[in-house]
Each structure stands twice: as C-alpha cells, then as structure tokens.
C-alpha cells in the first residue's frame, strides 16, 4: 500500500467558517507534510511533522493550524481564511531513517484537497 489518502477532495468555505482537511497513510512513514499549490505553480511547503512533532513551519499564517494526532494521520485546521488561500492542498509522507541509516527522503503525495474560499 503506497497510498496517501486525503479528504475531502473538494471544499468550499466562507471566510468565517472553520473546516479541516485530513490526510492518512499506512506505510509506516514517520514524516508527513502539507504543501499548498496554486494553479500552474509548483507546490510550496507549509509544514513538516517528524515523529508526530512539528519540525518545520514555513512562516504560514496562523489561520492554518496543523495537527498530527498519531503516526498515520495529519490534519490541517482552517479558520478565517481569505479568498487568496484558495488552492490545492497536498499532503505527503516519507520514511524516516532508523538504526543509523538515512532514509532516501522520497515523498509520496495524496491526490490533494481543492479548497475554494468565498
């Protein structure tokens, strides 16, 4: 199983709503990522979780709040978003190294959640 599953596939929300994006993987990966992708642009890193702890936050506004409740799940909580936050939000995972061996860093991506903020 090399799948990263994201829900919902599509989300439309108003600027005052609170919603969440969910990501799940069962590959035993201990690093999980959120990326944001605007149309015809490459993905931009938002957050990295390593062993369920936030290790990288790329200066993302606080209206985006990540959460990693366990090693298989990653959430992105959304509150008071702006129309310019409309984008494809991609989740990814990768294996962490163990016993002195470095992992390859290869990322596996989900299909994304298409977010529209009205």
Partner 1 sequence: KQEVTQIPAALSVPEGENLVLNCSFTDSAIYNLQWFRQDPGKGLTSLLLIQSSQREQTSGRLNASLDKSSGRSTLYIAASQPGDSATYLCAVINNAGNMLTFGGGTRLMVKP
List residues near partner 1 by CB under 8 A: 4, 6, 31, 41-43, 45, 48, 50, 55-56, 88, 90, 92, 94, 97, 102-112, 114
In the complex with partner 1, the residue whose CB is nearer, 41 or 63, is 41
To the nearest whole angstrom, how small is the minimum distance from the Cβ of residue 112 to partner 1?
5
To the nearest whole angstrom, how small is the minimum distance from the Cβ of residue 32 to partner 1?
11
User: Do the beta carbons of residue 23 and residue 75 sit within 8 Å?
Assistant: yes
In the complex with partner 1, the residue whose CB is nearer, 73 or 80, is 73
In the complex with partner 1, the residue whose CB is nearer, 58 or 82, is 58
To the nearest whole angstrom, how small is the minimum distance from the Cβ of residue 46 to partner 1?
12
In the complex with partner 1, the residue whose CB is nearer, 70 or 104, is 104
To the nearest whole angstrom, how small is the minimum distance from the Cβ of residue 103 to partner 1?
6
DSSP the chain: ---EEEE-SEEEE-TT-EEEEEEEE-S---EEEEEEE-TTS--EEEEEEETTEEEEE-S--TTEEEEEEETTEEEEEEES--GGG-EEEEEEEEPPPBTTBPP----EE---EEEEE-
């Amino acid at each position: 199983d090399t799948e990263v599953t994201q829900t919902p596939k599509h989300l439309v929300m108003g600027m005052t709503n609170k919603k969440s994006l969910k990501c799940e993987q069962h590959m035993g990966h201990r690093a999980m990522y959120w990326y944001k992708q605007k149309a015809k642009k490459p993905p931009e890193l938002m957050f990295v979780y390593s062993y369920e702890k936030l290790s990288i936050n790329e200066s993302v506004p606080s209206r985006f709040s990540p959460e990693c409740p366990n090693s298989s799940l990653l959430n992105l909580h959304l509150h008071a978003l702006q129309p310019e936050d409309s984008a494809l939000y991609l989740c990814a995972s990768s294996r962490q190294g163990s016993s002195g061996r470095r992992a390859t860093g290869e990322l596996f991506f989900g299909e994304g959640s298409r977010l529209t903020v009205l």
